[in-house]
Amino acid sequence: MKPMRTERLILRNWEDRDRELFHRVNSDERVMEFFPFRRDRAAADAKMDEFRAWVDEDGYGFAATEIAATGECIGFVGLLDTDHVPSLPTGTIEIGWRLAPEFWGKGYVTEAAEAWLTYGFETLGLGEIVSFAVAENHRSTAVMKRLGMTADPSADFDHPGIPDSHPALKRHVLYRLSRSDWQARKKAAG
């Protein structure tokens, strides 16, 4: 992917220098509160390599997010195919994120996500972008709302990747944003 720049951030593909941060984010109890697993270093390295390959192949994915002024990687924000969610139609694209806790509450996810929405709607020509999270993950659903996404309770689902041993994490809420709603919101703000 060609790196994208926002006011404070650079959205780019993963580099080897990001491995420590990627592992930390994927093993931190606060970050992974709504996930049934924590990744050890080997599993985190393998997942980062998978993310890097997706970004190389598709030109988008869960891409590294760094602070432009310092070059410090803070986590990831990006777009991803939802082929792993059988209840969603093939070709559905989600927007998702995960940041190290010390970078929460600074508006970084919203800033990066706005750039990815622009890329998805303008460059990829998507008609809709979705996002989903465990129903109790109020931090993530608050970001979805800030992005102008709307809850679609009729499309909430039990995530197939969550084992039955974690019933409190299975139910996911789904939020949607259509290109026309995104354009109207952008026009009203501009």
Residue-level pLDDT at 76: 97
Residue-level pLDDT at 13: 96
Q: What is the pTM of this model?
A: 0.94
DSSP assignment, residue 35? Answer: S
Residue-level pLDDT at 73: 98
Residue-level pLDDT at 83: 87
Output the furthest CA–CA distance in the chain (Å, rounded): 47
Residue-level pLDDT at 86: 87
Look up the CATH number of the domain holding residue 50.
Answer: 3.40.630.30
Overall number of domains in the chain: 1
Residue-level pLDDT at 66: 98
Domain range for 141 is 4-189
Torsion on CA atoms 146, 122, 175, 190, rounded to nearest 10: 30
Residue-level pLDDT at 40: 93
Proportion of the chain in helix, strand, coil states, percent, rounded to 5: 40, 25, 35
Please check whether residue 60 is in contact with residue 1, taking contact to mean a CB–CB distance below 8 angstroms: yes
- What stretches in the chain show pLDDT beneath 50? none
